Amino acid sequence: MVEVLYLLAGLLAVLLIILIFLLIRRRRKSYVVPKVKVKKGVFVNENGINVESGHLGSGDFFRGTGKERFETVCMSEELREQTFGLRRKQIRLTEVTDGRVYQSVFANGLIIGRKEMDQEGYPSLMILDTSISGKHCRIFMHGDTVYVEDIGSTNKTFLNGREITSAQPIQNGDVLRLGRKEFRVKMW
């Protein structure tokens, strides 16, 4: 009997995923990519169209100047909250030296590093730089406060010029240094 319940729960989960996929596909809208400073261009889809800003829809590919390629999944804030039931926070890290922007959304936590995804299932913010560890630091929420902690990185994590040895609160305007890179933090 227990096996049947597990099987039914699994089937229900698969059906829910398919339903979400169909809803997203059906509600396919285009979203504006904000202007960003880039040296060699940003490309949308496989056409290699060089744009500074453009429209992306679900299933479109977003490719930077390197070999990385990310498929977009666009959904409204309302649908996302209904689907996941979590209030999410956005973080933007702007590189101090060249203005390059890295942005992600997280609910409970976010791993920042060179790796694409953490084994614990946290979303990740990938920054391709040899001075940044595969899993460099973790951003997480406790109550209404956002914290940053180093997770065993080789070149350490610094907040406003000070090495962090335990979780520290992080706020808008703070400067986060990972390896040789410094980033200004913005969250909303």
- In percent, how much of the chain has pLDDT > 70? 60
Residue 6 has pLDDT above 90, yes or no: no
pLDDT in tens, 96-116: 999 999 998 888 788 999 877
Residues 65 and 138 in one domain: no
With a cut of 80, say whether residue 93 has pLDDT above it: yes
Mean pLDDT of 135-158: 93
* Residue span of the structural domain in which 132 resides: 86-185
Q: Per residue in 152-178, pLDDT tens?
A: 999 999 999 999 999 999 999 999 999
**Are 92 and 174 found together in one domain?**
yes
Question: Residue 114 carries which side chain, given as an amino acid letter?
Answer: R
Q: What pLDDT was estimated at residue 14?
A: 85
Where residue 75 falls among pLDDT bands split at 50, 70, 90?
Answer: low
Task: Evaluate whether 21 touches 14 at the Cβ level (below 8 Å).
Answer: no
Which residues are bridge partners to 181 per DSSP?
A: 178
Same domain, 94 and 63: no
How many domains in the chain?
Answer: 2
Asked if residue 75 is part of any domain, the answer here is yes
What distance in Å separates the CA atoms of residue 123 and residue 43, rounded to the nearest whole number?
Answer: 23
Q: Find, among 49, 50, 73, 71, the residue nearest to 62 by Cα.
A: 71
pLDDT of residue 33: 46
pTM of this structure: 0.55
Q: Quick one: 59 and 125 in the same domain?
A: no
> What is the rounded CA–CA span in Å between residue 166 and residue 88?
24
Do 173 and 138 belong to one domain?
Answer: yes
